[in-house]
Amino acid sequence: MARDPMTQERWAQLTHWPLIIASLLWLTAYSWKVIGDVTGPAGMGLWIVIGVTYIGFVVDYLVRLFLARPRAPWFRAHLLDLAIVAIPMLRMLRLLRILTEFTFGQQSAGTVLRSRIAIYGAGASILVIYLCALAVLEAERGAPGANIEQFGDAIWWAFVTVATVGYGDFYPVTPLGRIWAVGLMAGGIAIVGTVTATVSSWVIERAAQGRDDDEPATRGQMRGLLQQMGELRKELAEAKEIGEK
C-alpha cells in the first residue's frame, strides 16, 4: 500500500508537538546554563541539549523549504522563519501559539481577536524581557567594566529598558550586549504599541455601545417603526381572513 506523499501541512502536524517540546528543552537548558553559570561536564551536557534542539530547528526549516512548491516565493514569504533559525530565541515566541489556541466561548470575532492579541502581547513581553536578560547576561558576564553580572541585575535592566525609564544604573558595555539592547528596545516598543492599540480599540467599542444604548430614538425612527407595525397588522389580518375561508 502506497503511503500518502509528504506535504507541508502533514509535516506541520507531525512536528507540532515535538517542536514545542524541543523549544521548551532549549529554553530550560539555556536558562540553566546562563543563570547558573554552569561549567564542566554539566555545562557540556547543557550545550549538547542546546545544540541538538537547534539542529532540530534547522532540519524543520530545511524540510519545509524542500516541500514548498514553488520554493522561491515560499522562501521570500517566510524570511521570519529563516531569522528564527538564525536566532533560536525567536522560536520561543512560537510557544505563545499554545495560549492563543484556547477558545473564548460565545464571543464576537472582534472580541476573540482582541483577547488573543492581548494574550500574545503579554506573553511576548514577558518572553522578550526574559530572553534578552539572559542574552545580555551571557554577553556581559566577566567582560571588563561590565556591571551586569547577576540575573537579577539583567532582568531589572530589561524591565527598565522596555519601560523606557532609563535609570542608567545598569547598561551593557560589550558590542554583543548592546546589539541585544537595541533589539529589546525595538521589540519592546512594538509590543507595547500593539497592546496599547488593542486596549484603545476595546475602550472605543465599549464607549460606542454605551452611546447606542443611551441615545433616544428620533421621530423618523418612530414613524418607521409605526409603519412597520401597521404593515404587520395588515398582513396578520389578511392571513386570518384566508384561514377563516
Residue 1 and residue 85 share a domain: yes
Residue 149 lies in a domain: yes
Residue 8 lies in a domain: yes
Residue 82 lies in a domain: yes
For the whole prediction, is pTM greater than 0.75? no
Domain boundary among 42, 70, 90: 90
Residue 231 lies in a domain: no
Q: 84: which 3 cell numbers? A: 528564527
Domain boundary among 90, 116, 131: 90
Residue 15 lies in a domain: yes
| pLDDT the model gives residue 125 | 81
Residue 139 and residue 86 share a domain: no
Residue 31 lies in a domain: yes
Angle between helices 151-162 and 175-214 (to 10 degrees): 50
Residue 133 and residue 172 share a domain: yes
Residue 190 and residue 115 share a domain: yes
CATH number at residue 134: 1.10.287.70
Distances (CA, A) of 127 to 31, 88, 144, 159, 215: 12, 13, 28, 12, 44
Angle between helices 40-67 and 79-86 (to 10 degrees): 160
Domain boundary among 90, 122, 138: 90
Residue 232 lies in a domain: no
Number of domains in the chain: 2
Residue 111 and residue 82 share a domain: no
Residue 95 lies in a domain: no
Residue 133 and residue 178 share a domain: yes
| pLDDT the model gives residue 111 | 66
Residue 113 and residue 81 share a domain: no
**138 with 105: CB under 8 angstroms?**
no
164 vs 161: CA distance, rounded Å: 5
Residue 136 and residue 69 share a domain: no
Residue 137 and residue 57 share a domain: no
Residue 119 and residue 75 share a domain: no
SS (H, E, C) the chain: CCCCCCCHHHHHHHHHHHHHHHHHHHHHHHHHHHHCCCCHHHHHHHHHHHHHHHHHHHHHHHHHHHHCCCHHHHHHHCHHHHHHHHCHHHHHHHHHHHHHCCCCCCCCHHHHHHHHHHHHHHHHHHHHHHHHHHHHHHHHCCCCCCCCCCHHHHHHHHHHHHCCCCCCCCCCCCHHHHHHHHHHHHHHHHHHHHHHHHHHHHHHHHHHHHHHHHCCCCHHHHHHHHHHHHHHHHHHHHHHHHHHC
Residue 1 and residue 40 share a domain: yes
**127: containing domain:** 102-213
What does the buried/exposed string (b/e) look like for 190-207 if buried means 16 or more CB atoms within 10 Å of the residue's CB?
Answer: ebeebbeebeeeeeeeee
What is the full per-residue pLDDT of the chain (245 aa) written as tens digits?
Answer: 456 688 889 998 999 889 889 988 999 999 999 999 999 999 999 999 999 999 999 999 999 999 998 899 999 998 888 888 888 777 777 777 666 665 555 555 666 666 777 777 777 788 889 999 999 999 999 999 999 999 999 999 999 888 777 788 899 999 999 999 998 988 777 776 766 776 676 667 666 555 555 555 566 667 777 787 777 777 777 766 766 65
Residue 182 and residue 122 share a domain: yes
